[in-house]
Amino acid sequence: MHALVVSPHATIELSEVPEPVPGPGQVLVEVHHAGANFGELRHTGHFPAGTIMGFDGAGVLADGTRVVGLGLGSWAELAVYPADAVAEVPERVSLADAAALPTAGLTALRTLRAAGPLDGRRVLVTGASGGVGRLAVQLARREGAQVVAAAKRGEGLRELGAAEVVSEIHGAEPVDVVLELIGGSTLVTAWGLLKPGGTLISIGNASGEPAVFPAYSTILMGPPRTLRTFGDVDDPAPDLAFLLDLVARGELSPQVGWRGSWERIREASDALLGRAVAGKVVLDVRHR
């Protein structure tokens, strides 16, 4: 079969590789569409040469059931996933839209859930123009939050539910919750915007810069503020099914900003890493 793999030069190339064989508790999926994420493209060099890339894939099982899955090796004509990492795709949802959901959707959903009840609270989403950010804006608004979306390119964010759209967060009003995707100085500034008792969840570092906190900035009076990390993708099937149901009912838009053949992976990568994509990148897998 063919797959997009890491080359010896840490680039991604379309190559011929052996077909995977599912083991106990696994399923084999014929992949039709695959989602691409900023992190996996930015850190390709961290994977050994020959690694089949990609975590998000949508396609069909041997019996024709349409599914979406989460697991490394998704950028291939065939992919193997744990059975608890696969969810059936409703008829109203296209496989291309489904492929945009796993990594970004789970990240947005689970970080917001970890922040507690959102109704009536001010929620700041940094890097809101990307795949995670656009989904987070919609999900937070759905839970009754007053969403502040921070993005250099804020087109369409009000339509997704943001009450405020800002290009930078210096001088912004205090917030109860922050979903922080930029890192560096943005994380430090966002921490300073938290109300007493507020929660900041760090889920990205698009800037690639260190976060340097001023002395005593983490020693604050009043109810404790919390800075949390996120990386929990265990048992994703139920949450994938929940997200797919929202899409099927028209309550969530996957926000695909770039779609094309997987043979255009370099073009897709340049667009995503160059911040030229509003939302998600979806690759169409061509079977030979």
Residue 95 is predicted with a pLDDT of 98
Mean pLDDT on 128-139: 97
| Sheet with 122-126, edge to edge strand ranges | 164-166, 146-150, 122-126, 175-180, 194-202, 226-229
SS3 5: strand
pLDDT tens for 167-185 read: 999 999 999 999 999 999 9
How many percent of the chain have pLDDT more than 90?
93
Domain ranges of the chain: 2-101+254-284, 105-229
Residue 167 is predicted with a pLDDT of 95
Using the predicted structure, report yes or no on whether residue 267 has a pLDDT greater than 80: yes
At 249, give phi and psi (nearest 5°).
Answer: -90, 5
Residue 125 is predicted with a pLDDT of 98
- What per-residue string of b and e applies to 25-38 under the rule 16 or more CB within 10 Å gives b? ebbebbbbbbbbbb
3-state percent breakdown (helix, strand, coil) of the chain, nearest 5? 25, 30, 45
The Cβ-side half-sphere exposure at 130, using a 13 Å CA radius, reads: 26
Mean pLDDT on 245-270: 97
Report the candidate in 153, 173, 162, 117 with the shortest Cα–Cα distance to residue 135: 162
| CATH number, domain 105-229 | 3.40.50.720
At 223, the amino acid letter reads P
- Predicted confidence band at 241 (pLDDT cuts at 50, 70, 90)? very high
Superfamily name with CATH number, domain 2-101+254-284? Medium-chain alcohol dehydrogenases, catalytic domain (3.90.180.10)
Residue 156 is predicted with a pLDDT of 96
Report the candidate in 75, 97, 81, 94 with the shortest Cα–Cα distance to residue 262: 75
Residue 288 is predicted with a pLDDT of 73
Residue 232 is predicted with a pLDDT of 84
How many percent of the chain have pLDDT more than 70?
100
The DSSP letter of residue 220 is -
Mean pLDDT on 257-268: 97
Residue 220 is predicted with a pLDDT of 82
pLDDT tens for 70-111 read: 999 999 999 999 999 999 999 999 999 999 999 999 999 999
The more confident residue out of 150 and 288 is 150
What is the distance between the alpha carbons of residues 234 and 282, in angstroms, rounded to a whole number? Answer: 23
In this predicted structure, which of 77-81, 141-145, 177-181, 203-207 has the lowest mean pLDDT? 203-207
The more confident residue out of 222 and 139 is 139
Mean pLDDT on 146-154: 95
Using the predicted structure, report yes or no on whether residue 233 has a pLDDT greater than 90: no
Burial class (CB in 10 A: 0-12, 13-18, 19+), 259: middle
Tokens matching residue 279:
């939302």
Using the predicted structure, report yes or no on whether residue 209 has a pLDDT greater than 80: yes
What is the distance between the alpha carbons of residues 209 and 187, in angstroms, rounded to a whole number? Answer: 10
pLDDT tens for 20-47 read: 999 999 999 999 999 999 999 999 999 9
Please, which residues have CB within 8 angstroms of residue 123's CB and are 6 or more apart in sequence?
A: 112, 115, 140, 145, 146, 147, 148, 175, 176, 177, 178, 179
pTM recorded for the entire structure: 0.95
Residue 219 is predicted with a pLDDT of 87
Residue 227 is predicted with a pLDDT of 95
Please, which residues have CB within 8 angstroms of residue 199's CB and are 6 or more apart in sequence?
A: 114, 115, 116, 176, 177, 178, 225, 226, 227, 228
